Structure formats: structure tokens, C-alpha cells
Amino acid sequence: MAKMIDVPTMSDERGSLSIIENLIDFEIKRVYYIYNTDAEQRGGHRHKRTNQLLVCVSGSCSVYCENELKKSEMFMLDAPNKALYVDAKDWHTMQDFSKNCVLLVLASEFYDANDYIDERY
């Protein structure tokens, strides 16, 4: 089930440093990021195996998630010290991208077209 995670952050007069370490229970096998998007929506799928951690390192976007129990929730990613864990079974879309949005995704699996499930529950 999708859940928000506070990313440990240290700040001083030099700026802020956020650390993603021991926050997720999977090995990171793929890293990608979405930016310069004029798309109304991205995603629109769930996975067979891939768990993900989403971090909006710049700007903002919202993420809609729906799980197998038909529980749905909208999450706002608007700070680099907030992350969203998305379970493989969570059907999800990303939307409402700000102009300067950079959405970083850490994934548990390498890309595999057969891992994607387009149907909702």
C-alpha cells in the first residue's frame, strides 16, 4: 500500500542535504526521472514485481494511488524531503506537474515491459 515517508534531512547555512538510506526494503536496480512534461498524466498502471520510491526533487506533482482493496488516496509531492513508497500492487498515476517538476523514481526491478499491468482493480 502506498505511503508517505519523511526523508531525513540536515540543514544549515550552507543548505540542505536529504539522505535516502535504509528507508526502503528493496535493492535499487533502476533509477529514472520525469521532467519537462506537458502531459496531463503519467503512469496509469501497476506492476507485478516493481516497488518504487518517488521523490519530487524540484517543483511538485500529485500522485493518485489505488490498491487491491479499492482504497484510493491522492498524495502531494512538493518537497525533496518527502518521498512516496508505491507498492507493486498500487495502480498509480502522476499528474499536476509544475513547470519545474523533476520526479525521481527509485525502482526495485530493471525495466521489463511484461511487469506492467494497465488494468485497474
Could you tell me if 65 and 91 are in contact, meaning their C-beta atoms sit under 8 angstroms apart? yes
Cα 4 from Cα 44, distance rounded (Å): 19
Percent of the chain with pLDDT over 70: 100
Cα 121 from Cα 109, distance rounded (Å): 22
105 C-beta neighbours (distance < 10 Å), count: 17
From the candidates 7, 45, 59, 62, which is the catalytic residue?
45
Residue 73 falls inside a structural domain: yes
Count of domains forming the chain: 1
Residue 94 falls inside a structural domain: yes
Residue 86 falls inside a structural domain: yes
Residue 82 falls inside a structural domain: yes
Residue 14 falls inside a structural domain: no
What pTM does this model have? 0.94
Residue 16 falls inside a structural domain: no
- Domain with 72 in it: 24-104
Residue 116 falls inside a structural domain: no
Q: Read off the pLDDT of each residue in 60-88 and give the average, rounded to a whole number.
A: 96
45 is catalytic: yes
Q: What is the CATH number of the domain that holds 45?
A: 2.60.120.10
Residue 117 falls inside a structural domain: no
Over residues 14-47, the pLDDT tens digits come to 999 999 999 999 999 999 999 999 889 999 999 9
